[in-house]
Structure formats: C-alpha cells, structure tokens
Amino acid sequence: MTLPRAPRSPLFWLGGLLVVYLGYPLAAFVVRLVTSPQRGFQVPGLFPALWVSVSCATVSLAIVTVLGVPLAYLLARSSGPISTIVGIIVQIPLALPPLMSGIVLVYLIGPYTFLGQLFGEHLTDSLVGVVIAMSFVSSPFLIVAARAAFASLDKGMLDVAATLGHADASRFLRVAVPSAGHGIRAGMLLTWLRAFGEYGAVVILAYNPASLPIYTENQFSGRGLPTTLAPTALALGVAVVVVLLSRARITKPATRRSSTPKPSAPERVLPRPVRFDVDHHLGTFHLALAHESPTAHLGILGPSGSGKTALLRCLAGLNGASPGPVWYGDELMQHVPVERRGVGYVAQGFSLYPRMSVWRHMTFAGATPELSAYWIEHLRLQGLEDRLPADLSGGQRQRVGLAQVLCSSPKVLLLDEPFSALDVPVRLELRRELRRLQRETGLATVLVTHDPEEAAFLSDELIVLAEGTVLQSGTSRSVFSRPVSAEVAKLLGVENMNIGTVHSPSAIDVGGALLRIPLTEIGVGTKVWWSIAPERVFVSPMLNNTPKDGEDALLGTVVDVADMGSAYDVFVTIADGVEVLARSWVALDVEVGARCQIALDRAAVSLWEASSDRTGQARNHGATR
C-alpha cells in the first residue's frame, strides 16, 4: 500500500519560484554559449581585462579585511554617538549608485585635488584608481557582516580571556576573530564578488586599464551581443570558483601531545579574601555595597536582576577602576588591569571557545603541560583532551571551564552561577567537587547564585542582594537562621510564608483562625508575614469530625498529599487562601478532601512586619529556625 505524500509547504514553492527566476537566465546563457559560433574568446584585451578585475578585487579585499575587520570589532563593542555616526558613514556606499560613488571619489583623488596633485595625478586612470573604486563600493559588505558576527559573540568568552591574562589585541586575534570566522568569511566573499563586478565607480575613476565589466560594455556597444559571451562566461566561472573556495572548510589537525606529561600538582596557596567597596552605575541601575569581613568563601545570593553578575564583573576588573576599591587579601587591585589581576573568572554558560580543544583550553593561559595534566586528571577529563566543546556534555563543559581557570593559578576564584544550566544530578556532583577544591587549594572564592542551598553549601559568609542593595549580610548560619525581613526569607527559600494580623501579643489572626505565637512586641492590628518550617507542622486525622483538645491546634482540609520519596508533603488549608505545608517522614493516615487537625510548634513561628523596608533593618520576631 502506497501512502499519500504530505503536501509541500508554501515555503517550498516560494523558494522554488525564486530559484527558477535566478537559474533560468543562467541556463539560457549556457545554451547560447554552447550553440553560438561567435563567443569572443579571440578578441584582444579579454584576458588582460580579466586579470585587472581579479587582481584588483583581491588587493581591494586584502585592504578592506585588514582595516575593516578591526573597525567592525570596535563598532560591535561600542554604542555611543560616535559609533552610530561611523556606522552610518560605513553604509553610505550601499545607498549611492555606483556612478555617483565614482563622482564622490573624484572630489577626493581627482587630478585637481590635493591628493591627486600629491601623487602626480596617478590615482586615476590606473590600477590604483581601480582598487580605490572597488574598495569604496565593496567595503560595507565585509564591515556589516563582520560587525554582526562580532556582536553575536558570547561576551563571556572575551571576559574569561581577559581574566586569563590576554590583553585586548590578543583577545581580538585569538578569540574574537576565530569565533566570528563564519561571518567574516561571508563578508569577505561578498566584498570580493562586489569588487570584481564593479563598473560604475571604476569607469569614472579609471577607464584605462579596462576591467572586465568595462571591457564587456565596450564590446556590447561596439560589436553587439555575440562578443560579450566570452567575458560573461569568464565572470560566471570565476564567481563559481570563488564561491566554492569560500565554502571549503579549513580544518586544523587535532593538537595531540607526543607523550602524556606527568601531572604536577599546584602549590597550595594562602587564601586571599576579597574585600570591596563598590559604587557602580549601569544605566539607571545603581549597585552600591561593601564587604570588609576577611571571609575566604563569600556567597552573593539574590534574584535575577539584583546586580550579582555586575558585582562579580566589578570584582574581576572587567568594569575598570571606576566602581571603587577591591582588595585580594591585602593587595589593592582597583587600578590593576584585568589581564594582570590573576583572577579566575567562571562566567555563566561555560563560555568555552568553540574552535579550541579541551587541551588547548588548559594551556590558553600559558599553563605548563604538567599543571594542565594535573587538572585534567583531578577533574576527571582524561580522554577528552582532543574534543571540542560541542562534543562534550554539560557537566564536562563545566569541568573544562573550571579546569581552564584553575590552570591559570589564580589568586581568587569568582563564580557566576556556575551550575544553573545543569541537570540536578550533575549540579549536585559538581557542587561537591567545588567544595572539595575549596578545601584542597586554599583559594578564596566569591560565588553568586540564586540558589539558597548552593549558597549555604559553598559559602562561609553570605550577602543577600536585591536591586543593587544589601538586604542582609553575615555568616551563612546567622542569615539562614534569622532572616531580617520577609523578602530575605523568600529569597532564602523559606517555606510556609503567609500573611496575618496581630491579634494579641501571643496570637495572630490568619483568615479568621487564631495561630499561637511566641510573645511579640508588634502592635495589635499590624499586618505581618509569618512562617514555620514544614517539619514543625503536625497533621492528624479528625475522628468522627471531632477535634482533639489542644491549645495550638487548628482545623483544616487536606488539599494534596505528595510522596517525595524520602518524605511526605501534606498541604492543608486552614482558612480561605491560607495554605500550610506539613512534612512528615512517615506516611500519614489522611486523604485529600478530608478534614484534619494540625498542630504548629508555636516556638518555631517567625514573624516579620509586612511594612518592612528594603534595607533589611526591620525586626525579626520569633524563634530560630
């Protein structure tokens, strides 16, 4: 039985129509070329004209590439008014008709201009004039394509290269150009083809020696269509060859070591705690915070947009000296360029170099083969040395990023949400790996994250950040045990956050139910946030719909029971819109929809005034969690 074919997409027919439109004239030309008795290959001047076009287009491409690629890189990294003006100037030749481009150039290099007189009137009617005309009309194609390619690069790659000791020129040549290679090659192809086929500007500036388009126009005007077949065929042949060459992939042989170097462990370093007093503006965003405690392992916790990454960039020196003083240990780094700070920076998203093998990543900062082999072995990357990042799993890429930084023997290690893109099992494994490295290397670390558990596991001291402002800081234990505001509690992942109203010094009104609490000084009638750990909430069934006696007992309805594997989460509503989570390590005899009774350990209830300000100075009332 033959199944019917699925109907073609409209996109297929639209694309096919364009292919027919472009291909039919070429096919008709080929038929005419094959069948015509006169093609024009014997007409004098044909091959010299071809040579003029090929050689001048190639010289023009070389000039535009050497000057245009750095300009495109600068334009991609700039956003001010000067960049905008330069960008407009670069694209103007695209809007000018070619003849008018030639006229504009006459006013620059014509026989009676300053430059024309300076060069003895040899800038026109010469090969120099042909190159100048071709370069003017074709340069926008390379600059625009290269600028788009540079703009699409992961900025983290350049940042990591800077922290690994590479200055701006080295980052351009070793990171930006190879990574933007596809866009640059596409721009070079368009530039060469545009220069090769240029007629208008060339005919104004340099009628002699004749390029292939000028030669073809002369043949058409003087002898008619038959003798134009030869130059047209040559132009088509050259274009096909150039396009095919541009599509050829140049692959370097894998960098393999002749022998496996013997791993050599780095020397253990003394911790250099990071201290700072940062005041940094990023548009309308203002980041202002300081840290003076000599803590070896500092965590920065906050939601997206709170300024965590901006702070880490300030500490690394990627924003220059303007954000304020930063110390690595007792060494002031404020005016030290980023490439000379000796900082290890692990950016978000791994930021590996797509064309570098794992081994080249290890040696990119100048590490010895022995040290590179040590971190390859220590982070379990053996056998992956010749692979590219695209051939690695997420966990392997994260290990490569961490190993590359450690190969640079940094003074401090800055980690920007290093595990956020990983699956849970891999995240837990690498989190444990990093904690082990903290202990073994002695490196001071600064970790930014939005994961409270990750912050607690890898930090001795914690700063809770929101909208560029510190909400709370202190040891990890003190911050987690006593959040100073409801906002901090939410960022720390505190469960069972609900709103209520103070009914008396020992009770709050929760949707009509009275919840017993430790004695509080908050005034009666004040709205408060309250919370209690799920482990301190106890659920029991109601027999015969009769509640048990108990001063702290509340009535509720079971809305869900979730088997979490190691525990059971029971969700109970105790009032309209008020839901409480209870966590039990044994199965409970309750069903969804059934009435139940819950008892809360009143000593475990924490309170925060609902009107707490953003600075984290509001009082926290209640027991240590």
Instruction: Point out the domain boundary residue: 247, 265, 290.
Output: 247
- Output the six-digit token pair for 13: 């027919």
Q: How confident is the model at residue 4 (pLDDT cuts 50, 70, 90)?
A: low
pLDDT at 302: 92
Q: Are residues 527 and 593 in the same domain?
A: yes
pTM of the prediction? 0.82
Q: Is residue 415 part of a domain?
A: yes
Residue carrying the six token digits 């070896």: 296
Nearest residue to 529 (alpha-carbon basis) of 609, 614, 601, 619: 609
Please state the three-class secondary structure of 365-423 as a single string: CCCCHHHHHHHHHHCCCCCCCCCCHHHCCHHHHHHHHHHHHHHCCCCEEEEECCCCCCC
**pLDDT at 500 exceeding the cut of 50:** yes
| Domain encompassing residue 220 | 46-247
Q: Are residues 475 and 495 in the same domain?
A: no
Q: Are residues 193 and 128 in the same domain?
A: yes
Calpha distance 529→499 (Å, rounded): 5
pLDDT at 513: 86
pLDDT at 294: 86
Calpha distance 554→359 (Å, rounded): 63
**pLDDT at 55 exceeding the cut of 70:** yes
SS3 state at 346: strand
- Output the six-digit token pair for 158: 């350049």
Domain count of the fold of the chain: 3
Calpha distance 136→97 (Å, rounded): 12
Q: Are residues 363 and 223 in the same domain?
A: no
Q: What is the largest CA-CA distance in the chain?
A: 115
**pLDDT at 562 exceeding the cut of 50:** yes
**pLDDT at 121 exceeding the cut of 60:** yes
SS3 state at 525: coil
Q: Is residue 349 part of a domain?
A: yes
Q: Is residue 32 part of a domain?
A: no
Four-residue CA torsion sign, 103, 108, 109, 111: positive
Q: Are residues 572 and 463 in the same domain?
A: no
Calpha distance 561→547 (Å, rounded): 21
Q: Is residue 384 part of a domain?
A: yes
Range among 34-48, 132-146, 225-239, 267-281 with highest mean pLDDT value: 132-146
> Residue 518, preceding bond cis, omega within 30 degrees?
no
Instruction: Point out the domain boundary residue: 434, 453, 481.
Output: 481
Q: Are residues 426 and 495 in the same domain?
A: no
**pLDDT at 465 exceeding the cut of 90:** yes
pLDDT tens digit sequence for 384-434: 999 999 999 988 998 999 999 999 999 999 999 888 778 888 888 888 989
Q: Is residue 432 part of a domain?
A: yes
Residues found in the chain: 625
Q: Residue 183: which CATH number?
A: 1.10.3720.10
**pLDDT at 104 exceeding the cut of 70:** yes
**pLDDT at 43 exceeding the cut of 60:** yes
Calpha distance 280→288 (Å, rounded): 6
Instruction: Point out the domain boundary residue: 466, 481, 496.
Output: 481
Q: Are residues 451 and 331 in the same domain?
A: yes
SS3 state at 579: strand
Q: Residue 551: which CATH number?
A: 2.40.50.140
Strand partners, 343: 412
Q: Are residues 549 and 582 in the same domain?
A: yes
Q: Are residues 239 and 278 in the same domain?
A: no
Q: How confident is the model at residue 177 (pLDDT cuts 50, 70, 90)?
A: very high
- Transcribe 317-369 into DSSP letters: TTT-STT--EEETTEE-TTS-GGGS-EEEE-TT----TTS-HHHHHHTT---H
Q: Are residues 424 and 534 in the same domain?
A: no
Q: Residue 467: which CATH number?
A: 3.40.50.300
Q: Is residue 35 part of a domain?
A: no
pLDDT tens digit sequence for 73-82: 999 998 889 9
Q: Are residues 288 and 235 in the same domain?
A: no
Q: How confident is the model at residue 615 (pLDDT cuts 50, 70, 90)?
A: very low
Q: Are residues 190 and 299 in the same domain?
A: no
**pLDDT at 303 exceeding the cut of 50:** yes
Q: Is residue 203 part of a domain?
A: yes
Q: Is residue 434 part of a domain?
A: yes
What mean pLDDT is reported for the chain? 88
Percentage, residues of the chain above pLDDT 70: 93
**pLDDT at 123 exceeding the cut of 80:** yes
**pLDDT at 356 exceeding the cut of 80:** yes
CA 556 centroid distance within chain? 48
